[in-house]
Amino acid sequence: MNVKFGLEFLPSIPTSDTVMLSKYADELGFDAIWVTDHYNNRNVYVTLTAIALNTKKVILGPSVTNPYVVNPIWTASAIASIDEVSNGRAILGIGAGDKATLEKMNIEWKAPLRAVKESVEVIRRLLKGEMVYFDGEFVKSRGAALSYKPPHEIPIYIGAQGPKMLTLASTIGDGILINASNPKDYEYAMKIIKKAAGDRIGNIDVVACTSFSIDRDVNVAQKNVRIVVAFIVAGASEEVLKSHNIDLERANMIREYISKGKFKDASAAVTNEMIDEFSITGTPEQCVEKISELLKRGVTQIVFGSPIGKDKKLALELIASEVIPHFK
């Protein structure tokens, strides 16, 4: 089974700690490290540079950046630089961004499909060494070019959830990053992906970016993941909640707690059913079973995302020794 296993780190902790975990993950044999790109955390490219200089094999990139906060021409330069310092290990994750977050920065979230499509085209052309003239609806370039060309082709992965973005990602992306942990979400996504991708389906890396929590004690694993699931529930649409059979009244209560900064109350309001629907949580044996269900649906890369475990280093050891070997 040719499945890859990656990690997604939220750089909300000191960069030195993220580097330490990344170096350990590299030694343990993980395939990829993705770093989230959000203005209120450590800068994604500073973090990726530090990781690149302290690892040897793992591929690495942002998950995901967007074309609204940073011009895609600048992004091309940034990811090319990461490829250089990592000796050809860079990957680029790009998506439409989060409307609520962009509003906080006074940035208008408009034409997301067009923004992603044009950005990917311009970035690819720049990375090939072209001087780019481009007069798009979203991206404008009047002869932009990089002064250096990356020696390696940098794969571009597109973050996608809805049907239109999944379709776009399936036609122009090297990979698709899907934030979900439940098999039913991949049954839905794969129907769209297979139809849109056609003959190129075998060349697309379908990545499950999961909320993951592992521990030998299932109760510890569940306790650790509750706040993450609370934020997932609070941010989910009514349509998504209904598709996962989540009680809307309780979901609204969690949303209200979070809006008031009552995170302990929000965590307490999360049910075990919510944990099952929106995360992969449990003992190594339980996690293996849940991952197997995703792979059956067509997932080709599993990304272990927040919170990973109470003690992240121990969690990485558990994953490397008791989860990944089942799929190699």
Instruction: Identify the pLDDT of residue 98.
Output: 86
H/E segment holding residue 5: strand 4-9
- Give every CB contact of residue 305 below 8 A, 6+ residues apart in sequence: 7, 8, 209, 210, 211, 212
The residue with tokens 């399936």 is 170
Confidence of residue 100 (pLDDT cuts 50, 70, 90): confident
**Structural domains of the chain, ranges and CATH numbers in brackets:** 4-214+283-327 (3.20.20.30)
Is residue 191 helix, strand or coil? helix
* pLDDT above 80 (res 136): yes
Percent of the chain with pLDDT over 70: 100
pLDDT averaged over every residue in the chain: 96
Alpha-helical runs (H) found in 64-182: 72-85, 99-104, 112-127, 163-172
Q: How far apart are CA 99 and CA 110, in angstroms?
A: 9
> What are the CA-CA distances from residue 150 to residues 45, 114, 130, 146, 303 (Å)?
16, 26, 12, 10, 26
Measured CA angle at 115 (ends 114, 121), to 5 deg: 85
DSSP assignment string, 266-314: HHHH--HHHHHHH-EEESHHHHHHHHHHHHHTT--EEEEEEEE-SSHHH
Give the pLDDT confidence of 71-83 residue by residue, as tens digits. 999 999 999 999 9
Give the pLDDT confidence of 112-135 residue by residue, as tens digits. 999 999 999 999 999 999 999 999
Q: Would you tell me the crossing angle of helices 183-197 and 284-296 to the nearest 10 degrees?
A: 30
* pLDDT above 90 (res 1): no
**300: how many CB neighbours lie within 10 A of its CB?**
18
DSSP assignment string, 206-257: EEEEEEEEE-SSHHHHHHHHHHHHHHHHHHS-HHHHHHTT--HHHHHHHHHH
Residue 25's nearest CA partner among 46, 48, 5, 47 is 5
pTM of the model: 0.95
Q: Which residue has the higher pLDDT, 237 or 288?
A: 288
